[in-house]
Chains A and B, each alone.
Chain A
Amino acid sequence: AQTIHQWPVAEIKAVGSPLSLGCTIKGKSSPNLYWYWQATGGTLQQLFYSITVGQVESVVQLNLSASRPKDDQFILSTEKLLLSHSGFYLCAWSPTGGDQDTQYFGPGTRLLVL
């Protein structure tokens, strides 16, 4: 069975500090990977997606960047946090092939920027 982990579970960071959030998918080879941002009580905004190692497409520019250094790993980062980065970050995966439109979500990372 596939499992998806996100780390850390939660972070409190200062404005202007760097950030790195991670996501790992186990039990699935070469998945499509996604990062989402969710404001408190809000809708989901897709930030990035990746269909293969080393290749990341940006959907929305929020002064964030993403990388896929390994087949099963997706990293979200920034060198300088803004207050507006606060929220809930969700990683998701979908299989390649026939069911690629179905996305499965991780438990999320809650970020508070002060």
Chain B
Amino acid sequence: AQSVTQPDARVTVSEGASLQLRCKYSYSGTPYLFWYVQYPRQGLQLLLKYYSGDPVVQGVNGFEAEFIKSNSSFHLRKASVHWSDSAVYFCAVSAVRIFFGDGTQLVVKP
């Protein structure tokens, strides 16, 4: 069975600081992995995705994620956050069908 866990419901960081949002999945094979961002009262926007190959994938707006198979993780990172990055971030895993984590609300303090 597939599942996705985002252990942090809310993360607060200062502007300019680095960021890591955690995501762990459960699936026996190698699934397709995604990070989406949702700004208030909007739909989800795709940040990045991993299908195969280089385990570090680059996304939009300076985001990247690393697939670590041994740890079943796909953490999202950014070297320096901006206040406009404040949003809810969803990790998703797709094999038979797509499952989303519960989301992590990111608050960037000025």
- Identify the A interface with B (CB < 8 A): 6, 42-44, 46, 49, 59, 90, 92, 101-108, 110
Q: Is the CB of A101 within 8 A of B43?
A: no
Q: Is the CB of B34 within 8 A of A102?
A: yes
What A residues does B41 contact at CB under 8 A?
A: 108, 110
Q: Is the CB of A43 within 8 A of B100?
A: yes
Chain B residues 43-70 with CB under 8 Å of chain A are: 43-46, 49, 51
Q: Is the CB of B98 within 8 A of A103?
A: yes
Contact with A along B67-110 (1 / 0, CB 8 A): 00000000000000000000000100010011011110000000
What A residues does B43 contact at CB under 8 A?
A: 6, 90, 105-108
What B residues does A6 contact at CB under 8 A?
A: 43
CA A108 to CA B92, docked complex, whole Å: 19
Which of A6, A59, A101 counts the most chain B CB atoms within 10 A? A101
Which of B42, B44, B101, B102 counts the most chain A CB atoms within 10 A? B44
Contact with A along B2-22 (1 / 0, CB 8 A): 000000000000000000000
Can you list the 10 inter-chain pairs with the closest CB atoms, starting with the nearest? Answer: A105-B43, A105-B44, A101-B94, A101-B32, A43-B102, A44-B100, A107-B43, A108-B43, A106-B43, A90-B43
Q: Is the CB of A90 within 8 A of B49?
A: no
Q: Is the CB of A101 within 8 A of B44?
A: no
Residue of A nearest to B6 (CB): A43
CA A108 to CA B98, docked complex, whole Å: 18
Q: Is the CB of A46 within 8 A of B49?
A: no
Quote the shortest CB–CB distance from B37 to chain A (angstroms).
Answer: 11
Specify which of A43, A102, A106 is in contact with B46 (CB 8 Å cutoff): A102
CA A43 to CA B103, docked complex, whole Å: 7
What A residues does B36 contact at CB under 8 A?
A: 105
CA A46 to CA B43, docked complex, whole Å: 14
Which of A59, A108, A110 counts the most chain B CB atoms within 10 A? A108
